[in-house]
Amino acid sequence: MTSDDHIPTAQQTSPSAYGEADLRAAAIAGIRAPSMHNSQPWQFRLRDGAVEILADPGRQLAVADRSGWAVRLACGAATYNARLALAVRGRPADVRLCPDPDPEIIARLSPGRGRPPTYTEEALYAAIPRRHSNRAPFWSEAVPAEIRHRLMSAARDEHAWLELLVGMTALASFAEIAGSADRVLRRDSTYQFELAEWTHAGDAADGVPRQAGGPVPAPHDLLPQRGFGDRPRAPGRDYEPEPLVGILGVPGDRPMDQITAGQALQRVLLTATDSGLAASLISQPIEVPSAREQLRRSLHRTGLPQMALRLGYGVPGRGSPRRAVPDVLIR
């Protein structure tokens, strides 16, 4: 071999079309994303050498998600997982959001230049199967400043912002807004009926199992809880009095902005999991327009809030089920 001979490395590999193995890897990771009521409103397909993530209109919640906001957020989160799966295969994607006039096409992942995965990509990818919503009470242990910084950086890296509420004044203000929104939704019988339809005690492949819900809400709880379960509260297992609450937002509120927010949300959740934290989502103040506007004004931020999170340390719980990969592939 002469000095001019050269063996191409992963960093210098030219892009080539994604294949069935790439599609399957992207779907396996994508289906682990969070979605409202675990409705799993996504589909995946291979077209022209690219992996596409599509919204599944048949799984859009008719009452809780009339606008499609929750579908786009969930599909954005699935897109981020798919990106990680392709990256750890040494085949990172070039991402285009809303690439077609067809509103059901959320993202197209085209092959980029091959390279080895970064340490962060490997760590976040490894966190995908361990991430799930933990609706149980957390311990009172504070989240260190270093981890808080990691969470905010994760949001910024995906073109979003994460506001971590500091002090009881800010926390009490959020709790009032969230509680008011929760009461509005509880008074809506059609909303509650739909929630009950997506809650089950068996082995369904979607929806929220009762055992994955938190204990029965109590009047003294600071933050509202979904009525997924009916588990009694163990003595001394009240919710933490000063939870760490984060509000995630993006500059706008177009469909593309909501997909961006979904990607950022998933990166924050995976970063939390990798840091040893548990998390649950609080969407009530986003679902009620007046509460969302009140929350936006209280934050003094440019842009709109897209999701609220409760973060902390807790006993590992059980995740919600997922549909089989063949069920989400479009051939």
- Angle at the Cα of 147 from the Cα atoms of 153 and 264, rounded to 5 degrees: 35
Is a pLDDT exceeding 70 seen at residue 5? no
| CB neighbour list of residue 188: distance below 8 Å, 6 or more residues apart | 63
pLDDT in tens, 269-310: 999 999 999 999 999 999 999 999 999 999 999 899 999 999
In 3D space, the residue among 121, 87, 110 whose CA is nearest the CA of residue 16 turns out to be: 110
Q: Is the pLDDT of residue 1 over 60?
A: no
Q: In this predicted structure, which of 51-55, 63-67, 101-105, 324-328 has the lowest mean pLDDT?
A: 101-105
Report how far apart, in Å, the C-alpha atoms of 291 and of each of 1, 72, 116, 180, 303 are.
69, 20, 44, 8, 15
Query: Residue 13: what pLDDT?
Result: 55
d(C-alpha 62, C-alpha 49), whole Å: 34
Instruction: Look up residue 59 and give its two tokens.
Output: 């799984």
Four-CA torsion 28, 83, 311, 236, nearest 10 degrees? 10
At residue 236 the predicted structure's pLDDT band, cuts being 50, 70 and 90, is: low
On the question of pLDDT at 72 being above 70, the answer is yes
What does the alpha-carbon distance between residue 305 and residue 294 come to, in Å, rounded to a whole number?
A: 10
Q: Please tell me the distance from the alpha carbon of residue 51 to that of residue 19, in angstroms, as a whole number.
A: 9
Degrees, nearest 5: CA angle 153-44-22: 75
Looking at the DSSP bridge assignments, the partners of residue 245 are 310
